A and B are shown apart, each in its own frame.
Chain A
């Protein structure tokens, strides 16, 4: 099943998408946050215990106010100062963002957190979970009111394609007219399949790896028929590496 995503089209006509977080991931993040809140509450109650010798009334009042402020303020403070993340969301790599891709505003953070009072009804975020499950943007009521969504925020680094595009000898390049035909006949999706197979090759079982590259090689060989001297003695995996070299690099 594809994860739902938030598609945004900029005025420049550029489309981009953000992966939305589902109710299960969000529940996990909330569980971690609940743990953090409990730790903070314990700290406050210890602090209040110290005050009990000065004024027992003040100690109980501090405990009551501390519980209230922490349980409501934790989400607001964390999400505002960490740009849409609480500790639980950081660990689960989730982030609250504006539903239209704009900068998250303070009042959006406040509203989505105050609306937890309804989302949490009648127990364990049942209302929020059900609404989130059926919402096309995986929003709970607080998100709908605040105009926010929670996205998955995987660690994204610049991809390292150098390992599949080295300047080694490529026998297919000896036939520029056939290489050009290959470039013309292969769709971006087919090309991506070949690149992904190479990038993930070390994760496959040996038998699966051999079978996969054999299938891919057969597929690409059916697209353009290179002469035997260009393909003989080359393993299927090397053949795919050469194909990718031709597709993604003109030189």
Chain B
């Protein structure tokens, strides 16, 4: 049987036009809230159009009308069946003080892995330099690190002119963008089942370990702390969090111990990954400012003790923020349970996030 297309079009066209009008309005104003009557009417129009599509697919194969109806049904389906939160206006303070630290805590295992890989890299880099100091150009292939640490400290402390005069803003912008790109790459390489993320973190660790051993062996530990701690206290955790996001992605991709399909696993973590990487970007903006405006100034301009104290204070504040901010006692219990159960998200946290 083939439908009476003329009568079918005459009867149904007003329904399709009304649905199309409502969809256009919803797409123009995503924040608009329908009244109950409007929602009922919208649902009724969707069901009728879907039924028309089914009828047309079964009894006629006029392709243009079918494609038009498929397009309408697809648009309406997305509006009706979406169960995730509608974008209700972004609350930056709530996001920063609650969502970000909660998300960080929800994926503590991934952070622990990120930290472990970096520490392993540090140990290898440090050990390699201690055993073979000639390997310095290979381990730290950066011109400004090739100098003897004692010589560099002497130069820095005797400098009378500000070598960053007029270039601090530029240097700061360069640091922010470069470090953010590295962090995004570390996250994105999670798509290589985490292998790329491991390599990035490990390589960073190797450089950090080699630099540390180089300066400590030369008796310049105080200079090193004063130089690295003010910005490193934020920058290094930021890179670790980017690694954490990469491992969250890799873990969803691999899906160990989960029976959910790949798309559902990725869908579950994608919001958290975005939260983490935005948090990383904010931390790196701060670190960029500190590195350009503070870290490059040494004694006698700024006492090392003050710089070390500043860095330690930053690290303590960051640790406190990530560990406690946005959590209730009940929430913390659920987080602990979630951590023990292998990172399964806590119910109340997911709801509040």
Contact = CB atoms under 8 A, between A and B. Distances in A.
Interface of A: 8, 10-18, 55-58, 60-62, 64-65, 67-68, 72, 83, 97-108, 110-111, 114-118, 141, 144-147, 156-159, 161, 165, 183-184, 186, 188-189, 191-192, 195-196, 199, 247-251
B59 interface: yes
A83 B249 contact: no
A156 B74 CA distance: 13
A111 B13 contact: no
A192 B62 contact: yes
B168 A57 contact: yes
Given A11-B81, A56-B166, A248-B5, A65 B177 contact: yes
A183 B1 contact: yes
B70 interface: yes
Contacts of B1: 183-184
Contact of A156 (B57, B67, B81, B253): B67
Nearest to B192: A118
B119 interface: no
A159 B74 contact: no
A65 B169 CA distance: 11
A62 B172 CA distance: 11
Contacts, number: 178
Interface in B26-58: 27, 47, 50-51, 53-54, 57
Contact of B184 (A61, A99, A114): A114
B282 to A, nearest CB: 14
B63 interface: yes
A178 B180 CA distance: 75
Nearest to A111: B270
A147 B270 contact: yes
A101 B77 contact: yes
A117 B184 contact: yes
Interface stretch (B124-132, B202-210, B271-279, B298-306): B271-279
A8 B173 contact: no
Interface in B51-87: 51, 53-54, 57, 59-65, 67-71, 73-74, 77-79, 81-82, 84, 87
Contacts of A102: 77-78, 81-82, 84
B173 A65 contact: yes
B169 A55 contact: yes
B249 A145 contact: yes
Given A60-B170, A114-B188, A118-B192, A68 B180 contact: yes
State which size class the interface on B falls in.
35 or more
B223 to A, nearest CB: 27
A101 B74 contact: yes
A99 B264 CA distance: 11
B123 interface: no
Q: Do most interface residues of chain B lie in helix, strand or loop, or is the interface mixed?
A: helix
A116 B181 CA distance: 11
A125 B101 CA distance: 34
A248 B189 CA distance: 56
A248 B5 CA distance: 5
B13 A191 contact: no
A96 to B, nearest CB: 12
B267 interface: yes
Contact of A12 (B47, B68, B266): B47
A249 B78 contact: no
Contacts of B69: 16
Contact of B188 (A107, A117, A191, A250): A117
A65 B62 CA distance: 53
Given A57-B168, A117-B188, A118-B191, A107 B271 contact: yes
Given A115-B188, A118-B192, A157 B174 contact: no
A89 to B, nearest CB: 16
B185 interface: yes
Q: What 7 A-B pairs have minimum CB-CB distances, sorted nearest first? A: A159-B64, A61-B173, A248-B5, A68-B177, A16-B70, A107-B274, A188-B61
Contacts of A115: 188, 191
B91 interface: no
Contacts of B188: 114-118, 141
A164 to B, nearest CB: 10
Nearest to A114: B184
Contact of B65 (A56, A62, A161): A161
B350 to A, nearest CB: 14
Contacts of B82: 102-103
